[in-house]
Amino acid sequence: MTVFTQTAPHELYLHHQKTLQAAIEALRAREFYAQYPEIPSGKVYGEDSNEKQHAVFTAQLNHPFQGLLQTSDTQITGAENSPFTREALGVSYPASKNIESYIQQAHAAWGAWKYADTETRAGILVESLERIKQRFFEIAFATQHTTGQSFMMSFQASGPHANDRALEAIAMGLEEQTRYPKQAHWEKPMGKFNVVLKKHYQCQPKGISLTIGCSTFPVWNTVPGLYASLITGNPVIVKPHPAAIYPIAIVIAELQHILKDNGFDPNLVQLAVDTPENQITKLLCEHPSVKMIDFTGGNAFGNYVESLPGKITFTEKAGINSVILDSCTDLNGTLQNLAFSVSLYSGQMCTCPQNFYLPENGILVNGERVSYEDVVKGFMKAIEDLTHHEKMGPGTLGAIQNETTYQRVATVAQSGVKVLLPSKSIPHPEFPNARTATPLVLEVPLANREMIEQELFGPIVLIIPTKDTQQSVALASELSSIHGALTCAAYSTDPATQAYIARNLAESFTPVTFNLTGPIWVNQSAGFSDFHVSGGNPAGNASFTNPEFVIKRFVLIGTRIA
């Protein structure tokens, strides 16, 4: 097959061209854009979609997963247990006994996709998102009962928000691969004659991509790398977390079907399932045919991934996210916003704030000083009012994904520092066996440096008294540089102080969000506008979704013909 053949635009590209153009324009403008509405409305997604897809989810439990088209020689049941019911999902998935099978199948499937033009790949991939859209409710139930997220959060994070992030990766990949012309007429005057060359340019994909999923956001954190590799022409092996397979299995099933429907080998995207007792992640990571690795998870394994020689890695790990309190105009709004931030999904988000730096002499509220003690009391009350609210509490907290996180809360509470607000288990109106925990809030003096330099994943908050705002900023920036951070929330009404905070946190490559009081929280990252993870500090080396996230997956090759 010649690499210089010009083909007509694929029909799916033409069908989705307006969507792709709108996404590209959104990437450039960085304004609000969402292709997929985040509210589970029957008018948008079908009046009976909730009921029908809940029935599908229920019927799937304790049965082999249907829909995957990949080659397999065995079935594996992961370690999926609902944090709400405490019962095993019992779903098994097609798998290969030997990881070499995944590698061989990826290589065999690669050829046609490698040489397909970018527009063809883009059209097929956007169509896959449209098919996934038809299963948002099933994905939501699967996410809820593997991660512990509430249904609403599961629907939004694994459905519309994940699809938007996938579309973002497709659009960025399309933009970067079509930035230059596919061919050029090059003519250099040489006096009495000209030298003429025909030049052709092609984007050559780098090879097999491995995407490693996490247990808390099995779709949202997986699809950016998955789609970034696919749009750039690479085959992908997806290794989900053993405790959260079902949600991403739906995504891969739809991808495999759309690939097959358009003449491509469905093994181009494979689900590689394992169990905690027989893990295959390192075997895949270290395989010489795996050229790229996308990873979301803890620092220990993330550092291992980054250390592998000869691999291109895209990591999102853990960090210590800070809150800097200096001054505000609406103390109640500030504290309610922060209470929601630490309570949302029980703090099981990589963007959740942990270290709260509060000056010992309090903060200014509309020019008047409010004491340290009163700010702390107000914060405790805001957390209790939210988490113990009969309707708001359970839906905000969700459930604790695993027992290790749950036990961490109890262990940290016995660490010897002052407990300002103990963690409590609250009843869930739908699931009496749900594993729940309200935020544990501790006061940690600066002398306890070891504790404030730890990422304490889960519903754990540290209030750290500081001498003044300058010391707060210095600590937040220093810890971000050493341990990484994905977010920083700051409250200041003084423009000069805002600039000081932003400048110092930028030194540690940490984005800052100022003065949130309404229904937007520092935990949230907006597709097409926010760069999720800066890629500049130890919390991760990649960013959803900047150009580097896609251009490192292909090489631009030039060919000259005289």
pLDDT for res 9: 62
How much is the pTM? 0.96
Task: Indicate the DSSP class of residue 133.
Answer: H
The domain ranges of the chain are 11-317+542-561, 322-514
* HSE toward the beta carbon, residue 250, CA cutoff 13 A: 28
pLDDT at residue 3 in the model:
46
Edge-to-edge strand ranges of the sheet holding 183-189: 183-189, 194-205, 554-561
CA angle at 507 for the pair 505 and 511, rounded to the nearest 5° = 40
SS3 for 60? helix
Sheet (strand 363-365) strand order: 327-328, 363-365, 368-370
Low-confidence ranges of the chain (pLDDT < 70): 1-9
Amino acid at the residue 238: V
One fold for 11-317+542-561 and 322-514: no
Phi, psi of 347 (to 5 degrees): 70, 15
CA 375 to CA 215: how far, in whole Å?
35
Please compute Rg for the chain using Cα positions: 25
C-beta of residue 356 within 8 angstroms of C-beta of residue 325: yes
The encoded tokens of residue 519 equal 């229904």
How far, in Å, CA of 403 to CA of 345, rounded? 15
**Per-residue pLDDT, 2:** 42
Instruction: Give the C-alpha separation, 540 to 542, whole Å.
Output: 6
What are the DSSP E strand ranges found in 260-361? 269-271, 290-296, 312-316, 322-325, 327-328, 355-359
Other C-beta atoms within 10 Å of 425: how many? 14
Q: Dihedral sign for Cα 381, 384, 390, 391, please.
A: positive
d(CA 270, CA 70): 6
Closest alpha carbon to 316 in 343, 348, 350: 350
Which residues are CB-neighbours of 267 under 8 A, at least 6 positions away?
Answer: 70, 71, 105, 106, 108, 109, 235
Tokens of 354: 């942990």
Collect all residues with Cβ–Cβ distance below 8 Å to 167 and sequence separation of at least 6: 19, 23, 35, 126, 129, 227, 527
322-514 classified as CATH 3.40.309.10: yes
pLDDT value of position 347: 97
Domain 11-317+542-561, CATH homologous superfamily name and number: Aldehyde Dehydrogenase; Chain A, domain 1 (3.40.605.10)
Q: Give me the phi and psi of 513, to 5 degrees please.
A: -115, 125
Q: Determine if residue 272 is left, alpha or beta; phi over 0 gives left, psi from -120 to 50 gives alpha, anything else beta.
A: beta
CA atoms of 68 and 286, how far apart (whole Å): 26
By the 10 Å C-beta count (0-12 exposed, 13-18 middle, 19+ buried), 416 is classed as exposed
On average, the pLDDT of the chain sits at 96
Helix (H, G, I), strand (E, B) or coil at 369: strand
- The confidence score (pLDDT) of residue 42 equals 84
- 513-514 and 488-491: which strand pairing? parallel
How deeply is 545 buried, as exposed, middle or buried, from its count of CB atoms within 10 A (0-12, 13-18, 19+)? Answer: buried
Strand partners, 421: 441
Say if residues 349 and 318 touch (Cβ distance below 8 Å).
no
Closest CA to 393 of 436, 351, 354: 436
